[in-house]
Amino acid sequence: MKNIKRFLKIEGRLLLIICIVLISRFAILPLSPNLSEGISDKLLHFLAFYLLSMLVDFAFPKTPFNALKIFILLGYGIAIEIAQSFFPYRSCSFADIAADAAGIALYLLTVPLLKRIPFIRERWSE
């Protein structure tokens, strides 16, 4: 059980770093015409921050998913929006921050369901 918990922590940290790098990179690139036709930008924000919430929670399992983790994630989302305001082909949007917050909130709401998945529930085991 300790091996699974350690695996989840190490993999969670590695995936968290990869996701932060990728999300940060895509946040400052010009929007692809194909992307704007397909998936909604708000949906992408929502899904990205749901995933980031899970990865932050798994990467640092000694502390619960608390206000500190939430503020760090929201701070990252706000930093992305501020950075985008400096690029002529991007813009700052409060709706994006709201989508980020909604992704975080959904993670909080789905934790009880995640605790029922055998491999994943090890994150919360004592």
pLDDT-above-90 percentage for the chain: 61
* Average pLDDT value for residue range 23-42: 75
Rank 4-8, 28-32, 80-84, 102-106 by mean pLDDT and report only the highest: 102-106
Q: What is the pLDDT of residues 88-107, one digit of tens each?
A: 888 888 999 999 999 999 99
Q: Is 0.75 surpassed by the pTM of this model?
A: yes
Instruction: Give just the sign of the alpha carbon dihedral 33, 31, 15, 92.
Output: negative
50 vs 11, which has greater pLDDT?
50
Q: Are 59 and 123 in contact (CB under 8 A)?
A: no
Instruction: Give just the sign of the alpha carbon dihedral 70, 75, 76, 80.
Output: positive
Give the pLDDT confidence score for residue 89 in this predicted structure: 86
Token readout for 21 is 């790098």
Give the pLDDT confidence score for residue 1 in this predicted structure: 59
User: Around Cβ 97, how many Cβ atoms within 10 Å?
Assistant: 17
Q: CA-CA distance, 60 to 70, in Å (whole number)? A: 13
Q: Which residues of 6-35 are buried (b: 16+ CB within 10 A; e: fewer)?
A: eebbeebeebbeebeeebeeebeeeeeeee
Residue 60, burial from CB neighbour count under 10 angstroms (0-12, 13-18, 19+): middle
Q: What is the pLDDT of residues 11-22, one digit of tens each?
A: 889 999 999 999
Give the pLDDT confidence score for residue 12 in this predicted structure: 87
